[in-house]
Amino acid sequence: MLSFVDVNKFYKTQNKHVMKKLILNKFSPLYAKALYAFMLCFVLNILFNQLNAQEQKKGANHSSLSVGAEVAIPTGDLGIVAGVGLGASAKAILPISHATALTINAGYIYYTKKELGGYQVGGFNSIPLKAGVRISTGKGFYFEPQLGYSIFSADGESDGAFTYAGNVGYLINHAVDISARYESATKDGVSLSHVGVRIAYNFSLGKK
C-alpha cells in the first residue's frame, strides 16, 4: 500500500518517475498482451454463444447493449496520486433467465491531474475489462458483481491488475441505466480503487 513514506520520497526526489512507479509496477508487456488476448477471446466466445442461444429461444428476454458516460471518484491510494476520472463504457447484457443476465463490460477512464505538494500528479489512463452477473429484482433495481482486468498507462508505460467491482443500479423503462459502484484493481499489495457513477442508454439487440 502507498504510505506517507512514499509521498515524502516523492517530495524529496522531485522525480516524476517515483509517481509512475507507484502506479505502474513494471508489468511484463508480453504477459500483459497475452492475457489481454486471452480475455478478448473469452469475452467474444461468451458473447457469440449467448447471442446464438437467444436467437433460438422464442419469448426469451432480448440481449441489449448499454452505452454511457462515467465519473470515477478516486479513494485510498488512488486518491493520493490522481484527480477525478472521466470516461465512457459499453456493456453487453446477455439474459440467461428472467431475472439473471451475464454482462461484458469494456471502458476507458482518464484520471485528471491534481496538485500534490506543489507538483502535478495524475493524468493517466485506465482500460477496465470486466465480466459479471446481473441479478434483477423485477422492479428496475439490480445488483451486479464483476471480475476482470484493468490496464493502466502513462507516459508510454503500462501495467495491469486483477479488478473486482460491485454495482447497484436502476433501469428506467428498460432504456436509461443509472448505477453506482465500488471498484478496485489490486496487485502486489497495492490497491487502486474508486467509487463510480454511470449513466447510460440501453439499446435492445432483439427483434421487436
Each residue of 112-129: pLDDT tens digit? Answer: 999 888 888 889 999 999
- How many structural domains is the chain composed of? 1
pLDDT at 100: 94
Q: Mark out the alpha helices in the chain (DSSP H runs).
A: 4-13, 16-23, 29-56, 76-81
Please state, in angstroms and rounded to a whole number, the distance separating the CA atoms of residues 206 and 9.
Answer: 56
Phi, psi (rounded to 5 degrees) for 100: -130, 140
- Which domain covers residue 49, as residue numbers? 4-204
In DSSP notation, 42-88 reads: HHHHHHHHHHHHHHH-TTPPPPEEEEEEEEEEEEHHHHHH---EEEE
Residue 110 CA to residue 130 CA, distance in Å, equals 17
Here the CATH number for the domain that contains residue 81 is 2.40.160.20
The cell numbers describing 169, all together, are: 443500479
> How confident is the model at residue 39, as a pLDDT?
60
- 51-72 tens-digit pLDDT: 545 544 544 578 999 999 999 9
pLDDT at position 27 is: 43
Whole-number pLDDT of residue 90: 97
Structure-derived torsion over alpha carbons of residues 40, 164, 46, 48, reported in degrees to the nearest 10: -70
The pLDDT of residue 13: 44
pLDDT tens for the 208 residues of the chain, in order: 343 334 334 434 444 454 455 555 444 444 454 455 556 555 555 555 555 455 445 445 789 999 999 999 999 989 988 999 999 999 999 999 889 999 999 999 999 999 888 888 889 999 999 999 999 987 899 999 999 999 999 888 889 999 999 999 999 988 999 999 999 999 888 899 999 999 999 999 876 5
Cβ proximity of 112 and 83 under 8 Å = yes
